[in-house]
Amino acid sequence: MRILMVASEANPFAKTGGLADVASGLSKALAGLGHEVTLALPYYRKTIKPNLAGEPVGKLIIPVGEKRVEAEIRSTTLPGSQVRVLLIDQPSYFDRAGLYLEKGHDYADNAERFSFFSRAVLEAARFLDLQPDIVHANDWQTGLIPALLASEYRLQPWFQKTASVFTIHNMAFQGRFPWWDYKHSGLRWDLFNWRQLEYYGELNMLKAGIAMSEIVNTVSPTYAREICQPEFGYGLDPSLLARGDALCGILNGVDTTEWNPATDAALAQRYTLDTVKEGKAACKAALQREVGLPQKPDSMLLGVVSRLTDQKGLGLIAARAAELFRADIQFICLGAGELKYENWLQELKNQFPNKVASVVGFNEALAHRIEAGIDAFLMPSQFEPCGLNQMYSLAYGSPPIVSNVGGLADSVVDCTPESMGNRTGNGFKFTQYTSEAFLACVWKAVGVFQHDKPTWNRLIKNGMSRDWSWAHSAADYVRIYDSARSRVR
């Protein structure tokens, strides 16, 4: 199958969150299954390293509303794979400090930037004669692509048999813009209606992808069910319900070429299931040294790697920190985001200098060392479409402590006598979203860590021995691609 994967970020080109890991990990896995995969991204000049920038292969003129804007297409490959990468270059849109925002403010022309990108990708596909069977668009930045395909491009011979799949990575980010931004899309105005691209008088690019794709999916089965309810649907639950059986959930995988403790070059010591005890002990000592915590092998070291936002449940940790850190517990948090949480981390460090360490910023290598060096990972998210860090934690032998939502519900199996008996238990989950339930869940994990090493070791083993790679999920994507194609024949 010829697959054109379109995303606004992908590893190692540009990354702000899980989407980047998924875009590259899934593309590689699909190519590994023998499919011809092309990945299209904006060319962020300030972010993409020169050795990844490829070569120009052509220039196109893209209509953006009444403007005509040049797009230079650059071609390269995704490192370590057969995946071709197309970078869409237009400096006035993408040569900026941030991908979507700067200093906490979204770029005012985001609708124009991603309208341009969406059309440029389809024009580039035609120019390069790619004739994709599937265009796989991701998140609001590419939500116009299914609409462009359905209403314009499929009328052309190059795209007659091209079907679209749209993946939602987070309902909270919808790409909502004033109605007058719709003109940048160049789409017919009759599509600007409440069933398709319009939402309470505004343009909603996520809704465009949901309404206009052949198949829409999200990144875990539980989140696929949750977003059909008002609590998680962020206003688009009716649009999702309207898609019926064209909506499904596929759990993300782990890119095991990047996240594998047996081969991870960032670690002080690499390890496998057989060497996890010594390996993790060495990684823990090295991490404690690196972040300035006392080197106490028996103190339970909890970790967080996260965007610092309400979604990730930092409020629950903050609410119970004073009680938690009275126990023999250490805590390391790596993250960037809202100022209130950056300040909170600083205060926590001042209050518990020997127990709390934090690093504000984005640091890929340290994220790997944290996954390996901690004893348990905290992820008490309010909602979690899939979540990757809990799966990295499982693969690295660091049982996650999580809320029972979305992809966390689908990947973490709570430690109970039954789940330990059938060897599926791999972490700790709480269901009621209160700080009491969170704290009780952490105390349960601390109790097992401190007093029941056989169970703790079994949790590690259960987590590490499950296959978290993309193998299963990539096969599931092929199934939905087939189903999408059957809808345009």
Which is closer to ligand ADP, CB of 145 or CB of 219?
219
Q: How far apart are CA 384 and CA 368, in angstroms?
A: 21
Which is closer to ligand ADP, CB of 253 or CB of 279?
253
Whether omega before 221 lies within 30 degrees of 0, making that bond cis, reads: no
Q: How many residues bind ligand ADP (CB under 6 A)?
A: 17
Which is closer to ligand ADP, CB of 63 or CB of 337?
337
Which is closer to ligand ADP, CB of 263 or CB of 422?
263
Which is closer to ligand ADP, CB of 106 or CB of 364?
364
Residue with tokens 């002080």: 268
Contact between 287 and ligand ADP (CB under 6 A)? no
> Judged by CB under 6 A, which stretch of 144-152, 361-369, 393-401, 441-449 contacts ligand ADP?
361-369
From first CA to last CA, the distance across the chain in angstroms is: 15
Closest CA to 192 of 207, 203, 181: 203
From the CB of 308, what's the least distance to ligand ADP, in Å? 8
Q: How many whole angstroms from its chain centre is CA 122?
A: 24
Q: How far apart are CA 200 and CA 198, in angstroms?
A: 7
Contact between 138 and ligand ADP (CB under 6 A)? no
From the CB of 427, what's the least distance to ligand ADP, in Å? 15
Q: How far is CA 164 from CA 124, 204, 207, 211, 331, in A?
A: 16, 18, 14, 11, 44
Residue with tokens 């440029």: 120
Of the candidate residues 367, 441, 448, 464, the single one contacting ligand ADP (CB under 6 A): 367
Closest CA to 469 of 284, 302, 271, 258: 258
Closest CA to 259 of 361, 362, 169, 371: 371
Which is closer to ligand ADP, CB of 95 or CB of 364?
364
Residues near 319 by beta carbon (within 8 Å), at least 6 away in sequence:
435
Question: Segment 299-358, which members bind ligand ADP (CB under 6 A)?
Answer: 305-307, 334-336
The pair of three-digit structure tokens given for residue 11, joined into one six-digit string: 């590893």
Q: How far apart are CA 482 and CA 360, in angstroms?
A: 43
Which is closer to ligand ADP, CB of 134 or CB of 348?
348
Contact between 363 and ligand ADP (CB under 6 A)? yes
CB atoms under 10 Å from CB of 297, counted, come to: 9
Contact between 362 and ligand ADP (CB under 6 A)? yes
Which is closer to ligand ADP, CB of 123 or CB of 384?
384
Pairing of strands 105-106, 101-102: antiparallel
> Judged by CB under 6 A, which stretch of 13-21, 24-32, 147-155, 347-355 contacts ligand ADP?
13-21
Which is closer to ligand ADP, CB of 211 or CB of 219?
219
Helices (H), 170-298: 205-212, 221-226, 230-233, 237-241, 276-291
Contact between 221 and ligand ADP (CB under 6 A)? no
From the CB of 388, what's the least distance to ligand ADP, in Å? 4
Q: How many whole angstroms from its chain centre is CA 300?
A: 28
Contact between 17 and ligand ADP (CB under 6 A)? yes
Burial of 254 (0-12, 13-18, 19+ CB in 10 A): buried
Which is closer to ligand ADP, CB of 247 or CB of 388?
388
Which is closer to ligand ADP, CB of 356 or CB of 420?
356
Which is closer to ligand ADP, CB of 21 or CB of 112?
21
From the CB of 387, what's the least distance to ligand ADP, in Å? 4
From the CB of 122, what's the least distance to ligand ADP, in Å? 26
> Judged by CB under 6 A, which stretch of 16-24, 60-68, 243-251, 480-488 contacts ligand ADP?
16-24
Closest CA to 54 of 17, 24, 87, 81: 87
Q: How many whole angstroms from its chain centre is CA 53?
A: 23
Of the candidate residues 168, 215, 388, 478, the single one contacting ligand ADP (CB under 6 A): 388
Pairing of strands 67-77, 84-89: antiparallel
From the CB of 2, what's the least distance to ligand ADP, in Å? 28
Closest CA to 459 of 410, 411, 417, 420: 420
Question: Segment 21-60, which members bind ligand ADP (CB under 6 A)?
Answer: 21
The pair of three-digit structure tokens given for residue 420, joined into one six-digit string: 């330990």
From the CB of 238, what's the least distance to ligand ADP, in Å? 24
DSSP state letter for 14: B
Facing residues of 59 across strands? 72
Contact between 18 and ligand ADP (CB under 6 A)? yes
Contact between 364 and ligand ADP (CB under 6 A)? yes
Residues near 353 by beta carbon (within 8 Å), at least 6 away in sequence:
none
Which is closer to ligand ADP, CB of 161 or CB of 307?
307
The pair of three-digit structure tokens given for residue 303, joined into one six-digit string: 């970790």
Contact between 212 and ligand ADP (CB under 6 A)? no
Contact between 205 and ligand ADP (CB under 6 A)? no
Closest CA to 259 of 22, 84, 477, 99: 22
Residue nearest ligand ADP by beta-carbon distance: 18
From the CB of 367, what's the least distance to ligand ADP, in Å? 4
Of the candidate residues 387, 400, 427, 463, the single one contacting ligand ADP (CB under 6 A): 387
Site residues (vs ligand ADP, CB under 6 A): 17-18, 21, 305-307, 334-336, 362-364, 367, 386-389
